[in-house]
Amino acid sequence: MPNCPECTAREKKKIQTKYEADTPEEERGRDDLYKLYDEIEIPMKMDPARKGNFICKRCGLYATREQVSDIRYKLNQKEKTREDKHDDYLEWWQKSKKEKQEN
Ligand SMILES: [Zn+2]
């Protein structure tokens, strides 16, 4: 059964917040975080009345397998865009710090 994309995204955010609270910045690794993400299990249930449709008991999401992939893809894109922005910001910050040191 596919994991509920909405609940998984919410759970990821919770795990990330906890991870950042528990782990000092210099010990954090993206792989560690991804390992924690892999442990998320929020399987949807198949709708017995309409085969190929899945329902999430937690949030009530009702979708076909294709829609589930679609939602997951969109949520991942959103997450990526945010990370990219964050990286840009980091880059800018480090660059400006370097420039300050050089001057
Ligand atoms: Zn759900």
pLDDT at position 103: 60
Give the domain range for residue 24: 5-102
Ligand 1 midpoint to CA 57 (Å): 7
Ligand 1 midpoint to CA 99 (Å): 47
pLDDT tens sequence across 24-70:
999 999 899 999 999 999 999 999 999 899 999 999 999 999 999 99
- Residue with the bigger pLDDT between 91 and 49: it is 49
Ligand 1 midpoint to CA 54 (Å): 10
Q: How far, in Å, CA of 56 to CA of 44, rounded? A: 5
CA angle 12, 15, 21 (to 5 degrees): 140
Name the pTM for this structure.
Answer: 0.74
Q: What is the mean pLDDT of the chain?
A: 89
Task: Quote the distance between the C-alpha of residue 21 and its chain's center.
Answer: 17
- Is the pLDDT reported for residue 84 higher than 90? no
Ligand 1 midpoint to CA 61 (Å): 6
Ligand 1 midpoint to CA 12 (Å): 13
| Domains contained in the chain, number | 1
